[in-house]
A = this chain, B = another copy of it.
Amino acid sequence: MPMRGDLPRLLIEAGLALLDEEGAEGLTLRRVAARAGVSHAAPAHHFNGLPGLRTAIATEGFCSFLHELVSARDALPPDADPFQGLLAVNQAYIRFSWRRPALFRLMFDQLPTENDDLRLAARAVYAILQDHWTPFVGNRPPAAFETAIWALTHGFAALNMDRPYPPDTPVNLSSYEDALRLLVG
């Protein structure tokens, strides 16, 4: 019926909306179908059941994620120093996890699948992160430095996604900034 915009894309966008509006439990084949105005079995037909829809949504999520990281980088003034770039991109990472927690969780819970598109999208995100920390490697072992800085960012995002852990701890990006500064020294 809707010739404008093929159905698969419509379904993915419906899924993203449901995820953002209602959380993980809102993402349902039948709800996605209803939102896209098609029959309840249409989503399973295009993707491969619910798991297929979820990986498709996760893949699209990584594209949005990448776009936000790139935007954060491009929004910097041209004379910004490398640390400002590193901080901006990694703060965008964390902010994404706050703004779209259900999608963020789906993306990283979904990672181990063997879907090539998903792996590619995730790799692209990793590449832009890499670009920004390489200037700081210095004479440290690169693998350890990569691990440290990227686990720091992801861990901070994951632990503060809904509420601070441990409870009663205030959450703010400035504490992340200080931690990052500790690492890059």
Which residues from chain A sit less than 8 Å from chain B, CB to CB? 105, 108-109, 111-112, 119, 122-123, 126, 140-141, 143-145, 147-148, 150-156, 158-159, 162-163, 165-167, 175-176, 178-183, 185
Chain A at the B interface: mostly helix, strand, loop or mixed? helix
CA distance in complex: A183, B178 (Å): 13
Is there contact, CB below 8 Å, between B144 and A178?
yes
Is there contact, CB below 8 Å, between A151 and B148?
no
Is there contact, CB below 8 Å, between B179 and A144?
yes
Is there contact, CB below 8 Å, between B119 and A109?
no
Which of B147, B166, B167 interacts with A176 by CB under 8 Å? B147
Quote the shortest CB–CB distance from A123 to chain B (angstroms).
5
Q: Which residues from B are CB-within-8-Å of A122?
A: 165-167
Q: Which residues from B are CB-within-8-Å of A178?
A: 141, 143-144, 147
Is there contact, CB below 8 Å, between A175 and B143?
yes
Which of B123, B144, B163, B185 interacts with A175 by CB under 8 Å? B144
